[in-house]
Amino acid sequence: MKKLLLTSLLAWLLIANAAMSQTTLTKDERMQWWREARFGLFVHWGVYAQLAGAYNGERLKADGAEWIMNFMKISMGNYQAVAKQFNPVNYNPDDWVRMAKYAGMKYIIITAKHHDGFAMFKTSASKWNIVDATPYGKDVLKPLMAACKKYGIKLGFYYSEAQDWNNGGSAVRMKANVGWANPDSAKIDEYTKANTGHWDPAQTTSTFEEYMDRVAIPQVKELLTNYGDVAVFWWDTPAGMTDETAQKLHDLLKLQPQIITNNRLKKNFPGDTQTPEQTIPDAGKMAGIDWETCMTMNRTWGYNAYDHNFKSTEVLIHNLCDIASKGGNYLLNIGPKGDGTWPQESIDRLREIGDWMKVNSEAIYATKASPLPKLDWGRCTQKVDGNNTILYLAVFNWPKDGKLVVPGVSNKIVSTKIFGSAEKATTKSGDNTVELSLPANAPNTYASVVKLVVSGKVGM
């Protein structure tokens, strides 16, 4: 009996010690993988994918397919009826994760619940979820988490904490009726203005605090309890949020001591990362801050069958280099279709980015912001390697005369290498510059990387 008690006590101490070591992680320890990742996948997926940017034969007249219920002022009953056709039988989480990994992405953030309140997981807090409200009848987050573990990708959850247009009582951001020639539009708009953004009386059946205690807080607890290690919790739109309610949500993060959060829970809860949206900050603006630009691949976050305005692969790779050169992460979005597949345009671009990353990812992963002045021919990232500094020069505009001038470098040159090429680069030092003599042809049509190793630190 004594031996059994000692064994049990030892086991308890080991568990307690492991728990204590988790809770004492510093921010730098929690952020290390994220700072090294530099590139992640955002996924906006829900019932709105079934509508694909149109309702009742009318196309949405604004960007934001995931906002279609709000933009078109669709009633709760009519919108919930759409879920009866939402049946993503072609959803293959292994394919999703493999495509993200091939592209060089290190983590995925998926909309566990967007503003329409539809949960992409089994929840006891509301029947408005993919298990109970659709013919598909299965949680999509659990197999995605399993696939992420299988392929070494981290998974995080997006959660709309204050807006929920289908569970009654949440806040709603006022949006104009921009998408649907509804004969009752004027009446709906009048009601909306008089009811703090709500357009359906069913949305005001309880108070905001009642909604938070009944739906949001239990769902966040479920997400932080039922899915293993959640890498990131990505809040969005704290409309109507009080400090007291935000604190309740914030306290739940203790369930995952290693988790990273963004800055959108509420103003007084800054989180770990800043999240500029659809824009890349100017150099130096985010110095010393962990930040992540989230950006669509076309114009909309959710799937819109009519939106073919996709950024080119060249633009996407330049964005990745630009963001890394400023010390940030690039969270690039995909809007899956209602059947669970991805638009071909997205697949093609991720494959092409992956081809580029196979050769050049060293210039992205675990790098720090450029120490150089502004470059008119491309971007620069850096790493410290013992007593040396490695400069990765992403050349967008390959010099026609073969001469690339790198400003702000007076250090001794240790070595050079051109990624994807067997040809060599020679160097000539000038007055706080280095001139590289390069081959006539660029090894890559999007961005060619030259690795320049110098002694000591490089200062601006």
How are strands ordered across the β-sheet holding 403-407?
Answer: 403-407, 433-437, 426-429
| pLDDT tens, residue by residue, 165-211 | 999 999 998 777 766 667 778 888 888 989 999 999 999 999 999 99
Whether residues 357 and 410 share a domain: the answer is no
Q: Is there a domain that residue 3 lies in?
A: no
Q: Answer yes or no: do 276 and 156 share one domain.
A: yes
- 150 and 232, same structural domain? yes
* Claim to verify: residue 413 and residue 308 sit in the same structural domain: no
Residue that wins the pLDDT comparison between 139 and 176:
139
Collect all residues with Cβ–Cβ distance below 8 Å to 88 and sequence separation of at least 6. Answer: 136, 140, 336, 338, 339, 340
- Residues 223, 303, single domain; the answer is yes
**pLDDT over 80 at 254, yes or no:** yes
Whole-angstrom CA distances from 210 to 213, 215, 429 are: 5, 8, 68
368 within domain boundaries: no
Mark whether 262 and 395 lie in a shared domain: no
pLDDT surpassing 80 at residue 422? yes
Question: How confident is the model over 140-169, as a mean pLDDT?
Answer: 98
Does pLDDT of 22 surpass 70? Answer: no
Mean pLDDT of all residues in the chain?
Answer: 93
Q: Do both 244 and 313 map to the same domain?
A: yes
3-state helix/strand/coil string of 206-254:
CCHHHHHHHHHHHHHHHHHHCCCCCCEEEEECCCCCCHHHHHHHHHHHH
Dig out the tokens for 430 from the structure.
């000038």
Is 17 contained in some domain? no
Residue 14 has pLDDT above 70, yes or no: no
* Alpha carbons 281 and 268: distance in angstroms, whole number: 22
Average pLDDT over residues 71-99: 97
What is the mean predicted confidence (pLDDT) over 230-251? 96
Res 180: pLDDT: 63
Q: Does 181 or 427 have the greater pLDDT score?
A: 427
Do 443 and 304 lie in one domain? The reply is: no
Across-strand partners of 436?
404, 427
pLDDT at 24 over 90: no
Q: Which of 30-34, 189-193, 271-275 has the lowest mean pLDDT?
A: 189-193
Measuring CA to CA, which residue among 384, 364, 275, 276 is closest to residue 321?
A: 364
Can you give the pLDDT at residue 460? 57
Number of domains in the chain: 2
| Average pLDDT, integer, range 266-294 | 96
Q: Which two tokens stand for residue 253?
A: 């993060």
Give the pLDDT band (50/70/90) at residue 4.
Answer: very low
Q: Are residues 322 and 418 in the same domain?
A: no
Tokens at residue 285, please? 């603006």
Contact call for residues 308 and 298 (beta carbons, < 8 A): yes
State whether 390 and 354 are in the same domain. Answer: no
CA distances for 34 relative to 22, 107, 291, 349, 390, angstroms: 17, 8, 10, 23, 21
Q: Which residue, among 99, 105, 96, 114, has the nearest Cα to 330 in the 3D structure?
A: 105
- Residue 96 and residue 106: Cα distance in Å, rounded? 13
Q: Is residue 460 part of a domain?
A: no
List pLDDT tens digits, range 288-334. 999 999 999 999 999 999 999 999 999 999 999 999 999 999 999 99
pLDDT digits (tens, 9 = 90+) for 344-383: 999 999 999 999 999 999 999 999 999 999 999 999 999 9
Strand order in the sheet with 448-455: 378-385, 388-395, 448-455, 413-418
pTM above 0.75?
Answer: yes
- Find the domain containing 112 and state its range: 25-363
Nearest alpha-carbon partner for 295 in 337, 258, 349: 349
Q: Is residue 32 part of a domain?
A: yes
Residues 274 and 264 sit within 8 Å (Cβ to Cβ): no
Report the 10 Å Cβ neighbour count for 71: 21
Among residues 333, 363, 393, the one where a domain terminates is 363
Q: Is 275 contained in some domain?
A: yes
> 298 with 387, same domain?
no
Distance CA 6, CA 157 (A): 40
Last residue of a domain, one of 298, 333, 363: 363
Can you tell me the distance from the alpha carbon of 397 to that of 56, in angstroms, rounded to the nearest whole number? 48
Q: Which of 300, 334, 363 is the last residue of a domain?
A: 363
Percent of the chain beyond pLDDT 70? Answer: 94
Q: Which residues contact 408 (CB under 8 A, 6 or more apart)?
A: 371, 372, 373, 432, 433, 458, 459, 460
Q: Which residue is associated with the tokens 């006022």?
A: 174
pLDDT at site 174: 77
| C-alpha–C-alpha distance, residues 364 and 62, integer Å | 34
Q: Residue 442 belongs to a domain with what CATH number? A: 2.60.40.1180
Please check whether residues 446 and 332 belong to one and the same domain.
no
SS3 367: coil
Rounded Cα–Cα distance for residues 217 and 424 (Å): 59
Six-digit token string for 349: 């671009």
pLDDT at 12: 46
Write the CATH number for 44. 3.20.20.80
Burial class, 77, CB count within 10 angstroms (exposed 0-12 / middle 13-18 / buried 19+): exposed
13 in a structural domain: no
Q: What are the φ and ψ backbone dihedral angles of 176, each rounded to 5 degrees?
A: -70, 155
Residue 11 in any domain: the answer is: no
Flag whether pLDDT at 7 surpasses 70.
no
Q: What integer pLDDT is reported at residue 308 of this predicted model?
A: 96
By CB atoms closer than 10 A (0-12, 13-18, 19+), residue 314 is middle
